[in-house]
Amino acid sequence: MYKRIMTIVMVVSLISSAAVFARGAQEEKTQEQVPVPVPEVVEPAQKENAPAPQAPAVAPQSGTTEPSVELNLAVFSGPTGFGFARLIEDGPDLVDGLRVSSEILPTPTEAIARITSGDVDVVAMPVNLAASLYNKGLDVKLAAVTGEGMLYLVSGSREVSADLQSFIGETIHVPGAGSTPEYVPRYVFEENGIAVGSDVVFDLSLKAASQLAQMLIAGKVDHAVLPEPFATMAVTKNPALRRVVDLQSAWAAASGEANYPMTAMLVRGAFLEEHPQAVDIIRMAAADSIDWVNANHAAAAELIEKHGILSAALAEPAIPNCSLIYIDAADARSSIEAYLSVLGGYAPASIGGSLPDEAFYLAK
């Protein structure tokens, strides 16, 4: 599962072990071993007195063993947390010298409070919220994009089609006023010459996507913008419903960007400064976890339910449509800035007033 993590750890360990061995040749064998930085592991085969396998990466001092680095990870319930399911499962025993403890948060407000107080070191959250925190002066770095767009215009009407012009004169129900579910379709319609408010009306009266999905299933509304897993839930429970517009494809056609980043992995600056190798490992672990979830829908859904992220019944069919992905922040900067520019154009406060500068993006 974590081949890349173990490769890096072993290479660093071998280099450190070689240095210790060379210096040890000039000293008594009983001399205290030089501590190895977390989360490096000394291979037993490299030194006669090396620690036994699975020992913490910090070398003993004065007859005691230093504790491992503890990294506190937080994700939201729902698709934001899907890709982290394997990492959450393996976190307590991820690698020697690094223990990952995880919690599932109900709202972005809770995530802001937890990372601001220092109780959380790494958190998965909406990209625009991460940018807003940085612009407000919080010491954080964007490590990666972990989820891209997953919005669909779902309808029970046969009078509309993927041609956006077919929606002229219609009312579309949209959850999450002042956020991505409103701004992405607004941008897509307006870039196609369709004015929101006159040519097409957005009804923002229902805030919760889950409630809106139920209204659509019951036939009480005709058209709705739905994120995953609610788009999948709607078309599964009511065969008359269909995904009429894939808003990711419509975004790509309008913006020239392949997709828009919705979820980011944010790292607390003080933790990064103190434990850079732990951050390197958590980034690789997140990438591997996302790959595993994308390749193992049923098993991933079981872990998603086990850890309180969402029920397996909802998660499993939705995973293929959730655009779970891992892209290092530096590589995603172009798509992030395109996305934040659109949101900032409608509501500057949604991104903290301006595009974040280069220091926001954690280097690879």
If you average pLDDT over residues 5-22, what whole number do you get?
41
Using one digit for the tens of pLDDT, what is the confidence trace for 107-164? 888 999 999 999 999 999 999 999 999 999 999 999 999 999 999 999 999 999 999 9
Tell me the pLDDT of the chain averaged across its residues.
Answer: 86
Return the pLDDT at 39.
38
Q: Is residue 252 part of a domain?
A: no
Reading the block at residue 125, the tokens are 């959250």
Select from 310, 53, 294 the least CA-distant residue to 302.
310
Question: What six digits make up the tokens of 21?
Answer: 């061995």
Specify whether the CB–CB gap between 52 and 41 falls below 8 A: no
On the question of pLDDT at 15 being above 60, the answer is: no
Kindly state the average pLDDT of the residues 222-250.
Answer: 97
Q: What is the reported pLDDT for 4? A: 52
- In percent, the amount of the chain with pLDDT more than 90 equals 78
Task: Please give the average per-residue pLDDT across 259-282, as a whole number.
Answer: 97
d(CA 337, CA 169): 32
CATH number (domain holding residue 96):
3.40.190.10
Whether residue 283 sits in one domain with residue 356? yes
Q: What tokens does 115 get?
A: 């990372």
Q: Does the structure show a pLDDT above 80 at 30? A: no
Give the total number of structural domains in the chain. Answer: 3
**Percentage of the chain exceeding pLDDT 70:** 82
pLDDT value of residue 67: 58
**Is 123 in a helix, a strand, or coil?**
strand
Residue 45 pLDDT grade (very low, low, confident, very high; cuts 50, 70, 90): very low
Pick the last residue of a domain from 65, 95, 114.
Answer: 65
**273 and 350 in a common domain:** yes
**Domain finish residue from 23, 47, 65:** 65
pLDDT of residue 216 exceeding 70, the answer is yes
Average pLDDT over residues 288-313: 98
Q: What is the pLDDT of residue 79?
A: 94
DSSP three-state, residue 169: coil
Helix/strand/coil for 208: coil
How high is the pLDDT of residue 5? 53
Domain range for 173 is: 152-246
Residues forming a β-bridge with 324 = 147
| Co-location of 158 and 133 in the same domain | no
Q: How far apart are CA 32 and CA 37, in angstroms?
A: 15
Query: From CA 343, how far away is CA 364, in angstroms rounded?
Result: 26
Q: Are residues 99 and 188 in the same domain?
A: no
H-state helical runs in the chain: 3-24, 79-82, 85-90, 108-117, 127-135, 180-191, 209-217, 230-237, 247-255, 269-274, 276-295, 297-306, 312-318, 329-346
Q: Alpha-carbon torsion 254, 255, 256, 260, what sign?
A: negative
Which of 29, 50, 65 is where one domain is finished? 65
268 and 141 in one domain?
yes
Q: Among 63-67, 208-212, 311-315, where is mean pLDDT lowest?
A: 63-67
Contact 105, 114 (CB under 8 A): yes
- pLDDT of 108 reads 84
Query: Token pair of 160, please?
Result: 């509309």
Q: Residue 31: what pLDDT?
A: 40
For 152, the token pair is: 């669909």
Residue 65, pLDDT > 70, answer no
**Which of 192 and 40 is assigned the larger pLDDT?**
192
Are 196 and 138 in a shared domain?
no
Q: What is the pLDDT of residue 1?
A: 53
pLDDT digits (tens, 9 = 90+) for 319-339: 999 999 999 999 999 999 999
Query: What is the mean pLDDT of the segment spanning 61-70?
Result: 54
- Give 196's DSSP letter: B
Q: Give the largest CA-CA distance in the chain.
A: 86
